[in-house]
Amino acid sequence: MSECVIIGNATLYHGDAREILPTLDPVDLCLTDPPYGNADLWQGGATGTKSHWQLADGGANCEWDALPIDFIDLVLTSARDQIIWGGHYYALPLRRGWMVWDKTPREFTSGAVELAWSTLNQPTRAFTYPRSFLGKQHPSQKPLPLMVWCLGFAPDAHTVIDPTMGSGTTGVACMQIGRKFIGIEIERKYFDIACERIDNAQRQVQMFAQEAAP
Ligand SMILES: C[S@@+](CC[C@H](N)C(=O)[O-])C[C@H]1O[C@@H](n2cnc3c(N)ncnc32)[C@H](O)[C@@H]1O
């Protein structure tokens, strides 16, 4: 059973992407960050303990994802082009357009970079942006500038889908630069956070547009 919420240019589903994706038509771009399934490999670093992470607001302890998703084939059919963070955890076809998030300087001892597999026909690209826990509402929350940077390589992607949107960073990026967005999240807690962040992002864009109007 899924729930659909429409907030301006965003259509957000609370439910299982394995059930929802087959009901949707393919869009222009899938920009997503599915679970990597490496909880047992997480060593804690300077700020955490193995397999768990504390929310910035002091809320519940979150577990890192224990398993990768089992529906990557479905994700591949969701859009004409894909950018899939953690693509090296999945058996994906050979492509040249890998994207790299360089976390230097890092605050703790996780990987120095993260990798996104993409179908974009371009050389490997890299984006340098420090990894931080500050203000995060999801253990795997991606930096907003990273997702905006990704979208810049697909200027013709008018509609973007993220089938595992977590706290909705892809959606916030889409709202900031005027793309339509479809998001799916299975966990109620993160779905609610995504709705709030995407709603706020649209309000801010509208406010700036009103202020800029003659
Ligand atoms: C790595 S996180 C995404 C974090 C996101 N990039 C952000 O900035 O907040 C992956 C998310 O996929 C969700 N997920 C896992 N399986 C799912 C499924 N079958 N359907 C929809 N969402 C799912 C998890 O609950 C988790 O929030």
Model pLDDT, residue 152: 98
Pairing of strands 79-85, 113-118: antiparallel
Q: Would the CB of 118 count as within 6 Å of ligand 1?
A: no
Per the model's pLDDT, the better-predicted residue between 190 and 38 turns out to be 190
194 closest CA partner among 141, 123, 126, 116: 141
Strand duo 52-54 + 61-63: pairing: antiparallel
Q: Is 33 in the pocket of ligand 1 (CB under 6 A)?
A: yes
CA separation for the pair 59, 46 (Å, rounded) = 19
Q: For position 40, what pLDDT does the model report?
A: 52
Asked if the model's pLDDT at residue 105 lies above 70, the reply is no
Out of 84-88, 111-115, 156-160, 191-195, which region has the weakest mean confidence (pLDDT)? 111-115
Give the model's pLDDT for residue 47.
43
Please name the residues in contact with 7: beta carbons below 8 A apart, sequence gap of 6 or more.
Answer: 195, 198, 199, 202
Report how far residue 113's alpha carbon sits from residue 111's, in angstroms, rounded to the nearest whole number: 5
Question: Does the CB atom of residue 141 touch ligand 1 within 6 A?
Answer: yes
pTM of the predicted protein model: 0.90
From 110-114, 148-152, 182-186, the region with the lowest mean pLDDT: 110-114
Lowest average pLDDT, out of 88-97, 99-108, 144-153, 187-196, goes to 99-108
Task: Output the CA–CA distances (angstroms, integers) from residue 73 to 81, 91, 204, in the order listed.
Answer: 13, 10, 36
Q: Kindly state if the Cβ of 190 falls inside 6 Å of ligand 1.
A: yes
| Average pLDDT, rounded, for the chain | 87
- Give me the half-sphere count of Cα atoms (radius 13 Å) on the Cβ side of residue 205: 16
Asked if omega into 105 is within 30° of 0 (cis), the reply is: yes
Model pLDDT, residue 212: 86
Pocket probe for ligand 1: among 162, 186, 198, the residue whose CB has the most ligand atoms within 8 Å is 186
CA distance 127 to 104: 10
Q: C-alpha distances in angstroms, 11 versus 56, 74, 106, 184, 195?
A: 27, 19, 34, 9, 10
Q: Lowest-pLDDT range, 5-9, 11-15, 158-162, 204-208? A: 204-208
Q: Which atom of ligand 1 is nearest to the CA of 32?
A: 6
Do 191 and 212 touch, CB atoms closer than 8 A? no
Q: Of 21-25, 31-35, 56-60, where does mean pLDDT reach its minimum?
A: 56-60
Ligand 1 within 6 A of 140 CB? yes
- Give residue 89 CA to ligand 1 midpoint distance, Å: 15
